[in-house]
Amino acid sequence: MSPAFGLKPLALLLAAALAAGAGAAEMPPGARLSWDEALQRLQQGSEQLGGARAQLAQRQAQAEGIANLGGPVVSVFGLAYSYKASLDLNLDPLNQGLGSVIGMLPPSIIGALPALPQLPASYTLERSHSNQTAILNAIWPIYVGGAADAARALSKAQGDEAQADLGQVEDEAVGLLAQRYFQTQLARRAADLREAVAGGVAEHDAAVEKMLKAGVVSQLERLQARAALEDARHQARKARSDAELAALALARSVKLDGAAPLPSTPLALSSQALPPLAEFISEALAQHPGLAKVAAKRSQAEQLKAAGKALNKPQVFAFGQSNLTHNRDWVAGLGVRVNLWDSLDHAALDRAHASQIAQVDAADAQARSDIALLVEKQWRSAERAREQYLSLATQDELGRELLRLRQAGLRQGTSTALDLIDAELNLAKLRTERAQVAYDYVMALTGLLQASGQIHRLGEYLARADLRVE
């Protein structure tokens, strides 16, 4: 008897709500949460954003660490040492040699010589010493083929990529928050309408009961009214459960514990058309973090190519050394290193770098095309939802007029209570559908701003909207 109406599936929303948020903050029961407050809580409590920020901080610190790469290096080398050296000498050959020499002398001389002492068979020589030394070294690369510049530029490009990643993570997080925030508003609106219908049907059911006792209506009409009441109550309970689950998902997004928040920023849209599509496409091609990431990737590829070329260029450096403990001896000069041959195929490496740059250029062209298409899709979706919302105003007026006529007809006896119940259900259906269209508009607007790199302006657009679903 009653037409079915309700919300779009909440499967994605409820699945996301299952992940518990660490470090949730307490919130008093019934506290209201504006869109700006929800956005602020997201910025402060999102682990995903925290991880992206940590990656950016790491890249920035890395760039700072190599900012002076290629500058002079001064070092001191010092040591203190002691040593003991031993050498064993075999004296047997010497003893034998002396005996041979003496035997060759004339007998008269041998007789006049005193008896020579016998040398020991071996003798050990020992030497020990202690000392210390300190040497000051300095080296200053004068020309290294641009390798240091390439390394610094590569580190900066990696930082730019981390910044783009953070921008993408922020945009996606805000987009998900908008989905959960305004899904909660839509679910609450549907639950309120369902509960209002259930209350009205309960009154009509009671009236039909009295009319049955008075013999005005049949038992069939009485049973139809009772069935309509049970269905209305069931739909109201289901709608309220969906609203509570949607609020739970929102609470997890903004790290709130305890009572679910009550969003205070309503679904809203503007009766005026959005700015021209070309403006959004222009902003997207200038601000989308995905394009910034591709640009960072291209810069990295270019710097890797420059670094590869630098390795094959001559290198010039100055050097100096001074002995701090031995008469202040020193040496200084210039050095040149020329790579005559190595095992790398530099021509092949150049081709590899060129292919990498071409790959990035192709990705950039594809990304620009995809982003422009996405912007146009979201822009058209938002405009279609806006026009649909405005057109539903006539149906809402028709539904209210039909309800008024059914109420008057019931008093005059030309309509039944069941006709009135149908009119109330129909009006609630129309109003739920209109709220759904308002939600579709907000989601399309969110997607449009995200695709054009302007998601931070969502609150601004909602504040300017002149049509609100309170």
Please calculate the CA angle 105-107-109 and round it to the nearest 5 degrees. Answer: 65
**Please, which pLDDT band fits residue 11 given cuts at 50, 70 and 90?**
very low
pLDDT tens-digit series, residues 389-413: 999 989 888 998 998 998 888 788 7
Give the model's pLDDT for residue 104.
65
Task: Provide, rounded to the nearest whole percent, the portion of the chain with pLDDT above 70.
Answer: 87
Instruction: Count how many Cα atoms sit within 13 Å of the Cα of residue 416 in the half-sphere of its side chain.
Output: 16
User: Average pLDDT, stretch 292-303?
Assistant: 92
User: Average pLDDT, stretch 261-267?
Assistant: 91
User: Average pLDDT, stretch 434-443?
Assistant: 96
Give the model's pLDDT for residue 15.
38
Which of the pair, 89 or 175, is modelled with greater confidence? 175
Which of the pair, 446 or 310, is modelled with greater confidence? 446
Nearest to 147 by CA among 310, 350, 338, 318: 310
* Residue 224, both tokens: 């139809």
**Does residue 6 register a pLDDT over 60?**
no
Q: Measured on CA atoms in the order 273, 274, 275, 280, is the torsion positive or negative? A: negative
Does the reported pTM lie above 0.75?
A: yes
The residues, any chain, with a CB within 8 Å of residue 303's CB and separated by 6 or more, are 150, 151, 153, 154, 157
Listed range (17-26, 143-152, 378-387) with the worst mean pLDDT: 17-26
**Does residue 92 register a pLDDT over 50?**
yes
HEC states along 128-174? EEEEEEEEEEEEEEEECCCHHHHHHHHHHHHHHHHHHHHHHHHHHHH
The torsion defined by the Cα of 165, 171, 172 and 176, in degrees rounded to 10, comes to 160
What's the Cα-to-Cα distance from 435 to each of 192, 262, 275, 442, rounded to whole Å? 12, 17, 23, 11
**Does residue 254 register a pLDDT over 50?**
yes
**Does residue 122 register a pLDDT over 60?**
yes
- Most confident range (mean pLDDT) of 17-31, 350-364, 406-420 is 350-364
> What are φ and ψ of residue 266, in 5° steps?
-80, 165
Give the model's pLDDT for residue 96.
67
**Please, which pLDDT band fits residue 199 given cuts at 50, 70 and 90?**
very high
- Domains present along the chain, CATH in parentheses: 11-18+31-69+143-469 (1.20.1600.10)
Q: DSSP letter string over 33-65? A: E-HHHHHHHHHHH-HHHHHHHHHHHHHHHHHHH
